Structure 1
Amino acid sequence: MPRKTYITSMPDKTGAFLLASKIIAKHNGNIARVSYNKAVDLHTLFIDVEASEEALSEIAEELGTIGYINNKLSEVRVVMVNIKIPDVPGAVLPILKILDRYDINISYINSNSTNSDYQNFKMGLLIENPKIIKMVLDDISEVYQVDIAEYDDSEKNLDNTIFYIRLANEMQKLLQLSTETTMEFISESNRIMQRLQDKGENPDTVFDYIRRFAYFINKRQGINFKADIEKIKISDLVTLYSIEPPCGSNTYVLETQEELVLIDTGYAIYADEMFEVFSKLFINWENRIKRVYITHADVDHCGLLSKLEGASICLNKKSADSLKRQYMGVPDDREQNETSLGYSKLSRIISGYIPPNTDKFYIIDEDTPEEHNNLQFIGSFAVSDLEFEVFEGSGGHLRGEMVFVCRKYGIVFTGDILVNISGFTPERAEFNSLAPYLLRSVNTDSAKATEMRNQIISLAEEIGDANQKPCIICGGHGPISVISNGKLVSMNGVENVIL
């Protein structure tokens, strides 16, 4: 059943939600989710409705007719002013008449006596047109003394009437979003807030994490993009490069004379920066034959798939199914879980993710069981003299997760099943603390994820013993590693490449 989120702005009066509910019911809509928090925003209420596409359109039109839906993002500002008013009856009326003339609402008001002939009025003026601010203040100053006060974010009463509008304007400017995408950002932010508030989290903290998530990704573009690049000669014919961006997954490149084989591709937002890195690392990058393998279908691992022209995208059926769902505009495997839905959609918006064309897919496996508890062998591929076995995990991190294993040369690509957290720089550690808070867990099944980690560590140790040297672990994030006493540690002897 199609589902749509309506971001409504309702009057603060009895019966407002009842009226909206009647409209939805009239069109046979089912209300699947409602979120309203007066302490966050006085007027904004989120309603998820399930109905036919035609009914959803009719509901939107009727809610718009009564003024409950307004997708226009105004440049709303709260201007705090201190006004010195005579302590006599009716003295505030001239101020109210001025505000009425300019159609300005008051978001906050507080007054106190100064034991003199005057009172200090502190007022929050809700101004949608910044161009009239000076005119309003000039008119007030002709009557009474007025000063602009400092805005205090800690005083929640000052902005809880327009919180979502302010957040929408901020994110639209930061991320260069369309109005439609901005409204989706606000809706998914509310979805995360509602879920975490139910678990006892403070809404202010939740929105702070969302802001930090958006700013961190966005502000690491251009000259602020700093990637750590490691290089290892795996065999006489193959060289491995690890490119670790400021955030998002690593991209590994296996270079041979004939081709370049990429494993995972990071966030889409860093496409220009990554292509510049590729061009500097690999002679004739644009014309080289390329294959891409993904360890799993998360947005931060698949960002460049839609931008790598001419490259074959190699993956298993489960990952292909998830990416096809993205391409069709329906929830993918990560988004099937209500816990992950809001975060996944925000990740797409913030990183500018575009699902890849499914015509470019090359499917690795056949008849893989839907459910299995162990690493399941599903296929193989070669990169020159490196022979890789492909194993599918049980889905603890994400359905369709894969591990690529070369026993002869002792190298394993693990995706996010194994990550060397201790090898993060402080900046990357900060970023990687955001998702666990907003998601509560980056895994879809923590018990399965733990079991998969244990199985991969055992496999890597077995390979290391057979080769009489530590197995190289290429995790989804962090530096190239080896296993020491059951834990990942950064590998010694790796060449650091400076571009």
Structure 2
Amino acid sequence: MNDDTSVGIPVRTFVTNVPDKAGAFLLANRIILQNGGNIMRVSYNKAVDLHTMFIDVQGSTRSLDAISQQLQAIGYLGNCLAETQVMMVELKIPDEPGALYPVLKILDRYDINISYINSSPNGTPYQNFRMGLLIENPKVVKLLLDDISEHCPIDILEYDASEASLDNTIFYIRLANDMQKMFYLSAERTMEFISEANRILQLLQDRGENPQKVFDYIHRFAAFIKRYEGEQFQPDVNSRQVSAQVTLHTIEPPCGSNTYVLETQDELVLIDTGFAVYAREMLALLRRLFPDWAQRKKRIFITHADVDHCGLLNVITDAELWLNRKSAESLRLQWLNQPDFRERKSFCMGYSKLSRIITSYQPPEQDRFYLIDDETTPEEHEDLLKIGAFTVGDLDFEVFEGSGGHLYGEMIFLCRAHSLIFTGDNLVNISGFSFERAEFNSLAPYLMTSVNVDSKRATAMRRQVISLIEQTEQQTGSSCLILGGHGPHSRLREGKLVTAE
């Protein structure tokens, strides 16, 4: 289970293993009601998992703890997810006499036949035993796995998908095992991941999507993030002189989420900071680009408070953080472990939380915030509204706040005199994506159904940003360099973005 918060009242997700019999959910419901809990969401699909039911419950911490204890007492909560019928498993057994015996006793207790077994020493204190288990009664699988896992770690390697009696109950445990190994997640964080994966599944199944496709996209998203860690993190980096005093450095990682650095003689100003998972690689790169990185004065501005643009805010601790009030509030909610402005949209919550988990994202401390706007900025507005300004060397930027179509608190930074504009995710050069970035950026729209919290507003805001660029170009007589949150530099040609030279 994992804790969340809704309007200040705790909400906990219980990942329950319920018996496949009439009245199973009724019993869980009675326990929840007797302890003053309010069921906010239930997700169960027998075709996806025979036993696993996700229940979001709102109540006091005391009530939720009591519900947890009672569900555990009746066997509805455990450390494993339900499993399937015919399995090839791998057990990590201590390499010592008699260590396998307790597992064999468990298999005998449940009348499980072994069709295949193999093991060999591997130079560690453990042996990996591979077993083929023939299971005639799928209802015993949950109990079997629970009992075995008390003695040793167990992983699922293969299953016989040709058997008519098999369902897809292996999805969750396979995904859990993969994520745990891939990102070294704790048991608690793994269960959180599975809970949010289910939230995405529920959303997309309601739209007619196939469960296997959903799980495939989730796995691809996580695997892509992992693939480019370490030596495989090879972003495109380029530099250009944009004024007499300022050099623009652009860092475009394999997964997009650009980081820009405006360098002057006196300081470094970052615009957005990418994913937290690449913090070590990004810091190493920044130190190579700027040998005096540690001594430099630093400021960071963010275009919006999505986790893929704020990943290093908690890592670059010697920088001032500049943002507007709405973005500050979104980060404050993250700090309190409450749904931020994106996660308040049900179709965004699962993906956003998965992103936090697999990228090890942590929000920054609020005492580092410097606010761009004042209290006169309206809460709601339809127009691209000027809310402040800042200067970097000889570049004077105007700050505009959008209506919140992509994300509440979104901002645009425009330097008219030098025809530069940072557009965040309000306007990106999609046609300029590399193959790998195009592949990665296709995952989020599927898993959230839309990357925008309000598509109608996002479309209107994109038009207003384009109009602002056109007005600036008419005023200055020069083409604007457009610096989006993803993709290469671009310019506007006949109303469309083209990659800049």
Query: Which TM-score band (shorter chain)?
Result: 0.7 to 0.9
Tell me which of 381, 403, 406 is aligned to 2:415: 406
Partner-residue secondary structure (3-state), 2:175:
helix
Tell me which of 218, 233, 242 is aligned to 1:225: 233
RMSD over aligned Cα, in angstroms? 2.7
Following superposition, the deviation at residue 199 of structure 1 comes to 0.8
1:301 and 2:309 aligned: yes
8 Å Cα contact 2:249-2:261 kept in structure 1 = yes
Query: Counterpart in 1 of 2:328?
Result: 320
Tell me which of 169, 172, 181 is aligned to 1:164: 172
Query: Counterpart in 1 of 2:27?
Result: 19
Query: Counterpart in 2 of 1:31?
Result: 39
Partner AA of 2:424 in structure 1: G
Partner AA of 2:266 in structure 1: E
8 Å Cα contact 1:36-1:44 kept in structure 2 = yes
Query: Counterpart in 1 of 2:108?
Result: 101
Query: Counterpart in 2 of 1:201?
Result: 209
Structure 1, unmatched stretches of 5+, are: 82-96, 109-120, 134-148, 493-499
Following superposition, the deviation at residue 285 of structure 1 comes to 1.0
Following superposition, the deviation at residue 103 of structure 1 comes to 3.6
CA–CA distance in structure 2, aligned partners of residues 256 and 76 of structure 1: 61
Q: In structure 2, do the counterparts of structure 1 residues 167 and 437 end up closer, same or farther at CA, with 3 Å as the change threshold?
A: same
Tell me which of 367, 377, 388 is aligned to 1:359: 367
CA–CA distance in structure 2, aligned partners of residues 331 and 150 of structure 1: 37
How do 1:34-433 and structure 2 match up within 5 A? 34-72=42-80, 79=87, 101=108, 103=110, 123-124=134-135, 128=145, 129=148, 151=159, 158=166, 160-366=168-374, 367-433=376-442
Structure 2, unmatched stretches of 5+, are: 1-8, 90-103, 116-131
Following superposition, the deviation at residue 102 of structure 1 comes to 5.2
Following superposition, the deviation at residue 100 of structure 1 comes to 5.1
User: Displaced runs of 4+ in structure 1, greater than 6 A?
Assistant: 73-77, 130-133
Following superposition, the deviation at residue 2 of structure 1 comes to 1.6
8 Å Cα contact 1:124-1:158 kept in structure 2 = no
Query: Counterpart in 2 of 1:114?
Result: none
Deviations 1:274-307 (A, max 9, x none): 1111111112112111000000000000000000
Partner-residue secondary structure (3-state), 1:286:
helix
8 Å Cα contact 2:256-2:487 kept in structure 1 = no
CA–CA distance in structure 1, aligned partners of residues 499 and 19 of structure 2: 58
Deviations 1:320-374 (A, max 9, x none): 0000000011110001111111111001011110111111100110120011111
CA–CA distance in structure 2, aligned partners of residues 58 and 9 of structure 1: 18
Deviations 1:203-239 (A, max 9, x none): 1111111010111011110111120112110111100
Following superposition, the deviation at residue 78 of structure 1 comes to 5.1
Q: In structure 2, do the counterparts of structure 1 residues 282 and 150 end up closer, same or farther at CA, with 3 Å as the change threshold?
A: closer
1:444 and 2:415 aligned: no
8 Å Cα contact 1:27-1:58 kept in structure 2 = yes
Partner-residue secondary structure (3-state), 1:354:
coil
Question: In terms of mean alpha carbon deviation, does 296-305 or 25-34 score higher?
Answer: 25-34
8 Å Cα contact 1:296-1:415 kept in structure 2 = yes
8 Å Cα contact 2:171-2:215 kept in structure 1 = no
Q: Quote the sequence identity (%).
A: 57
Deviations 1:405-445 (A, max 9, x none): 00000000000000100000011100000000011110011
CA–CA distance in structure 1, aligned partners of residues 411 and 330 of structure 2: 14
CA–CA distance in structure 2, aligned partners of residues 15 and 473 of structure 1: 60
Partner-residue secondary structure (3-state), 1:336:
coil
Question: In terms of mean alpha carbon deviation, does 293-302 or 63-72 score higher?
Answer: 63-72
8 Å Cα contact 2:17-2:81 kept in structure 1 = no
8 Å Cα contact 1:229-1:244 kept in structure 2 = yes
Query: Counterpart in 1 of 2:484?
Result: 475
Partner AA of 1:101 in structure 2: D
TM-score (normalised: structure 2): 0.85
Following superposition, the deviation at residue 123 of structure 1 comes to 3.7
8 Å Cα contact 1:78-1:107 kept in structure 2 = no
Question: In terms of mean alpha carbon deviation, does 368-377 or 99-108 score higher?
Answer: 99-108
Partner-residue secondary structure (3-state), 1:2:
strand
Query: Counterpart in 2 of 1:146?
Result: none
TM-score (normalised: structure 1): 0.85
Paired positions, count: 450
Q: In structure 2, do the counterparts of structure 1 residues 171 and 309 end up closer, same or farther at CA, with 3 Å as the change threshold?
A: same
8 Å Cα contact 2:491-2:499 kept in structure 1 = yes
CA–CA distance in structure 2, aligned partners of residues 76 and 223 of structure 1: 38
CA–CA distance in structure 2, aligned partners of residues 43 and 265 of structure 1: 41
Deviations 1:116-174 (A, max 9, x none): xxxxx9945867459999xxxxxxxxxxxxxxx97455768546344322221221111
Tell me which of 433, 444, 462 is aligned to 1:435: 444
